[in-house]
Structure 1
Amino acid sequence: MADETTLTGPEVIKSFLRTLDGSPGVYRMLDAESRVLYVGKARNLKNRVSNYARFSGHSPRIRRMISETASMMVLTTRTELEALLLEQNLIKQLKPRYNVLLRDDKSFPNIEVTSGHAFPQIRKHRGAKGKGTYFGPFASAGAVNRVLNQLQRVFLLRNCSDSDFETRTRPCLNYQIKRCSAPCVGFISQSAYAESVRDAERFLRGETTEIQEKLAQDMEAAAAEMEFERAAALRDRIKALTNVQSTQGVNPQGVPEADVIGLHMEGGQACVQVFFIRAGQNWGNSDFYPKVSEDMSPAEVMEAFLGQFYDGKQPPRMVLLSHGIEDGDLMIDALSEKAGRKVQLLHPQRGEKAELVQGAVRNARESLGRKLSESATQAKLLRGIAEAFDLPAPPKRIEVYDNSHIQGSHAVGAMIVSGPEGFEKSQYRKFNIKGSELTPGDDFGMMKEVLTRRFKRLLKEDPERASGLWPDLLLIDGGAGQVSAVRQIMREMGVEDIAMVGVAKGIDRDHGKEEFHRTGARPMALPRNDPVLYFIQRIRDEAHRFAIGTHRAKRAKALVANPLDEVPGVGPGRKRALLAHFGSAKAVSRAGLKDLKAVDGISDALAETIHRHFHETG
């Protein structure tokens, strides 16, 4: 074979063809620095790759890719389906420059009915699934919260944590406002509560008519037996269910379960809207903006989106598309294998399904229009920042850091990111402050820990700065002293070429009178009506909001934590016994060994474990 290091473009590909056969597989185009330019799959590798051995017949994008190709890598697979799955996995992992890239690969929340408890809890769940029963996905946390609110009003199920449930001696506010049946204090039997759980699960499966009929029959039976209080409660539940059905908006009649995917492309950008139809109800919609080029076809974008979107997500029984794709049968096989059942992939032309798709496309078109308008404004603001602070070019990634704590307790650091696309929330990061030697309230020490952890990781994972995750500009909350201190931290790590600006309030700490500090430059201010000033204030306030929210979440988690949860061998039953005997977790932690042994259900060995936990590690 010819020496590939002396060849480029078509010549490299021609020389590589001699090593290929007609097997299915995945190929990677690499540049002179071994960075992945493109990942593709093929039913027949030799035939597919031979298409790149010449410039003619390709779009400008592919011609550029061919000209930059300095080497190739190939991995054969047993089937084309395996090649498709591997291709999408590699695209997500390597993020090649010339592929369609789904940049916002967010997870979606579900509703979980917990298991392993006499009175199951109903709650929002995101992440890996356990042993509970799950319903979803929902497009957003807001959509989940709306449905949970409906379920509470109709079925009176608890949403409190197990530790809260076990320590309660009287019903909470949810019982008073008719959102819970108070199983924690025995106001409902286990069998009656289990029936409510089954009804809620049937509701989430779309069986609302049957539930309403059953509730009506139960109400009539209660009235006939002169249980008027129970009959009134059932009447209220029927009314709540009727209200839920009337306020759910557009719900398709003939599509019980589907993802409706609409694509709109304009100005070299694309928006994909996904509507989640489950149990015959619209469970919300979410928009995505994959990275595309102007010469990409809608079919190419749609196929790439499907592969990346469902990598790690459970496909529904039906997927409705606004644009057909070339390898439809292969994609059906891939989705069906992932789901463990048959998945339909349809491009409807008429009827209710087509109307659903048209609605998704309309939403995609409107969302992309808003985004294009916002992007133009954002680009102008970034140019303004470059001019104001003498930057060589508009920043593509601005990182803003903030800390939040109360006298040093529950301290967290927060980082937000802004760039040409606005706030990039998938890039936000929180840092639990770990430094045990820090003085409570030492903001500089906290900032040093956060920046050190952040940039040490970047130096380790991306020393060549090829990922786009390195910032062009750091915004520091503070004046010249803070900027100097941060500059010293960065110098110690060998990172001295990132611009940084300190944002300090003016003398009367008024919004609009901020002073800006840079190393080696005099403090400066911007006119009160300057849009760049408003922009900086907005991103600084966003960092503060994120830091405060992260701190509050950490503090709330600590407040509801029960020290008994950390003791090995103490489950819900034994925890109840200990709390009933001693009255509180604090009293348990102070109890003597003899007193612990006296508790019903606590063996001598477990009593010693509990005593040792609090008296040796406390």
Structure 2
Amino acid sequence: GGQACVQVFFIRANQNWGNRDFYPRVGPDVSEAEAMEAFLGQFYDNKEPPRLILLSHPIENTDLMQEALTGKLGRKVELAVPKRGEKAELVESAARNARESLGRKMAETATQAKLLRGLAEALDLDAPPRRIEVYDNSHIMGTNAVGAMIVAGPEGFEKSQYRKFNIRGEELTPGDDFGMMKEVLTRRLKRLLKEDPDRQSAAWPDLLLIDGGAGQVSAVQGILNEMGVTDLPVVGVAKGIDRDAGKEEFHRPGRRPLALRHDDPVLYFVQRLRDEAHRFAIGTHRAKRAKAVAANPLDEIAGVGASRKRALLAHFGSAKAVTRADLADLRAVEGISDALAERIYAHFNEGT
């Protein structure tokens, strides 16, 4: 019915080294043999194949696949569909795992579909959204500011679609969440309009969820109107008056705030979406902050490579001490010429 699971068991020296399940995208009319053949080609595209691969279903182009995998390994690779004995039992075990995994996945997908229908009903959307984009910002006193976008749909969180945005606006006041959200949404929409102005691809969202209340929603709606995207639903998720989880209010342009029952599964679903966006934003911010902390001011000076940087750090004890050094001290460092000493001094004392 258009859903597939391939279970891979890794056997080395007659020991089971674990297993993984994969869910390749297939059409409703794709056979097991076609799904298996397509998977083999993709799975071994970036990894070394073993000498023996046991399959649950024969594929159509066995000779071609064996030849391709043999060329990749540099020695003969055999594909086999065992009918009896220990190898057949191994394959049946993998097939059983695949059936169970697919059953769980289909149950999760059905639950997700039900939640998306509930979300559409609660927010008065035309149809269950297939692509929800959730936005959040993270910063400390305005520094190392980042915006984050996560994506969710019928298959759950689509992590390959997540995006991070380094906030560039130099005119922004530190901590200006409105300004940061405006920059992120403007950049995102400009890219969508450039790549798919007719809105034909699945890259366009059906729903924007943002962290904030009526003010943020109004600002985002203003951006959409400026860009001529007037039919994209925007919903702000804000903590209620007591700031407690479970008392969230939903804000929509030109409409009264909406609250869901505290035990409504749709509310839990939105909380998960918002929490995932917050987690991704915080993680992105921490990575940016760590990179900034690790950055060395000496890296910005032309002519100061690894060996000269080590000489300067050994002589002065720290990069900060180098920034405060006078010209005579810089010239005294082994391996630093007069010209380079003057360049380093000018770099840190420009305008003084």
Output the TM-score relative to the length of structure 2.
Answer: 0.90
- How much has 1:502 moved relative to structure 2? 1.3
Distance change >3 Å, CA 307–CA 316, structure 1 → 2: closer
- How much has 1:519 moved relative to structure 2? 1.5
Partner residue in 2 for 1:555: 289
CA contact (8 A) 2:48 2:73 kept: no
Identity over the aligned pairs, expressed in percent? 75
CA contact (8 A) 1:474 1:499 kept: yes
Partner residue in 2 for 1:565: 299
Q: Matches of 1:284 and 1:604 in 2, distance apart?
A: 62
- Residue 577 of structure 1, aligned match among 292, 299, 311: 311
CA contact (8 A) 1:318 1:344 kept: yes
Correspondence 1:298 to 2:32: yes
What secondary structure does 1:404 align onto?
strand
Partner residue in 1 for 2:234: 500
Structure 2 unmatched ranges of 5 or more: none
Correspondence 1:539 to 2:273: yes
Q: Matches of 1:564 and 1:355 in 2, distance apart?
A: 62
1:84-99 aligned at under 5 Å gives the runs none
CA contact (8 A) 2:207 2:232 kept: yes
- Residue 144 of structure 2, aligned match among 406, 410, 417: 410
- How much has 1:520 moved relative to structure 2? 2.2
Residue deviations 1:12-34 (CA, integer Å, cap 9, x gap): xxxxxxxxxxxxxxxxxxxxxxx
Partner residue in 1 for 2:330: 596
- How much has 1:594 moved relative to structure 2? 2.5
Partner residue in 1 for 2:98: 364
Distance change >3 Å, CA 364–CA 615, structure 1 → 2: farther
Structure 1 unmatched ranges of 5 or more: 1-266
Residue deviations 1:527-569 (CA, integer Å, cap 9, x gap): 1111111111111111111111111111122222222334444
CA contact (8 A) 2:209 2:237 kept: yes
AA aligned to 2:333 is V
- How much has 1:284 moved relative to structure 2? 5.9
Aligned residue pair count: 350
Distance change >3 Å, CA 567–CA 367, structure 1 → 2: farther
AA aligned to 1:316 is P
- How much has 1:576 moved relative to structure 2? 2.4
Partner residue in 2 for 1:430: 164
Q: Matches of 1:588 and 1:290 in 2, distance apart?
A: 55
What secondary structure does 1:269 align onto?
coil
Partner residue in 1 for 2:68: 334
- How much has 1:303 moved relative to structure 2? 1.5
- Residue 77 of structure 2, aligned match among 338, 344, 350: 344
What secondary structure does 2:49 align onto?
coil
Compute the RMSD of aligned alpha carbons: 2.7
- How much has 1:379 moved relative to structure 2? 0.9
Q: Matches of 1:481 and 1:408 in 2, distance apart?
A: 19
With a CA cutoff of 8 Å and minimum separation of 6, indicate the structure with the bigger relative contact order: 2
Distance change >3 Å, CA 318–CA 590, structure 1 → 2: farther
Distance change >3 Å, CA 527–CA 616, structure 1 → 2: same
- How much has 1:322 moved relative to structure 2? 3.4
- Residue 308 of structure 1, aligned match among 42, 46, 68: 42
Q: Which moved more, 1:590-599 or 1:528-537?
A: 590-599
What secondary structure does 1:270 align onto?
coil
Q: Which moved more, 1:342-351 or 1:412-421?
A: 342-351
Bigger Rg, structure 1 or 2 = 1
Q: Matches of 2:175 and 2:3 in 1, distance apart?
A: 46
CA contact (8 A) 1:273 1:360 kept: yes
Distance change >3 Å, CA 598–CA 544, structure 1 → 2: same
Partner residue in 1 for 2:120: 386
Correspondence 1:455 to 2:189: yes
What secondary structure does 2:230 align onto?
coil
What secondary structure does 1:546 align onto?
helix
Q: Matches of 2:69 and 2:194 in 1, distance apart?
A: 36
- How much has 1:612 moved relative to structure 2? 4.2
- Residue 476 of structure 1, aligned match among 204, 210, 213: 210
What secondary structure does 2:5 align onto?
strand
Q: Matches of 1:549 and 1:363 in 2, distance apart?
A: 34
What secondary structure does 2:34 align onto?
helix
Q: Matches of 2:48 and 2:138 in 1, distance apart?
A: 40
CA contact (8 A) 1:299 1:323 kept: yes
CA contact (8 A) 2:131 2:204 kept: yes
Q: Matches of 2:160 and 2:76 in 1, distance apart?
A: 30
- How much has 1:500 moved relative to structure 2? 1.3
- Residue 510 of structure 1, aligned match among 244, 254, 260: 244
Residue deviations 1:257-304 (CA, integer Å, cap 9, x gap): xxxxxxxxxx43101234567899877654332221332111101122
- How much has 1:348 moved relative to structure 2? 4.7
Residue deviations 1:330-365 (CA, integer Å, cap 9, x gap): 22343455x373461423526766565455434433
What secondary structure does 1:463 align onto?
coil
Residue deviations 1:97-116 (CA, integer Å, cap 9, x gap): xxxxxxxxxxxxxxxxxxxx
What secondary structure does 2:4 align onto?
strand
What secondary structure does 2:136 align onto?
strand
- Residue 440 of structure 1, aligned match among 157, 169, 174: 174
1:33-182 aligned at under 5 Å gives the runs none
Partner residue in 2 for 1:187: none
Correspondence 1:270 to 2:8: no
Q: Matches of 2:201 and 2:18 in 1, distance apart?
A: 33
CA contact (8 A) 1:382 1:420 kept: yes
What secondary structure does 1:287 align onto?
strand
AA aligned to 1:461 is E
Q: Matches of 1:443 and 1:279 in 2, distance apart?
A: 57
- Residue 59 of structure 2, aligned match among 319, 325, 345: 325
Q: Matches of 2:16 and 2:190 in 1, distance apart?
A: 45
Q: Matches of 1:310 and 1:492 in 2, distance apart?
A: 48
Distance change >3 Å, CA 419–CA 575, structure 1 → 2: same
Distance change >3 Å, CA 570–CA 491, structure 1 → 2: same
AA aligned to 1:476 is I
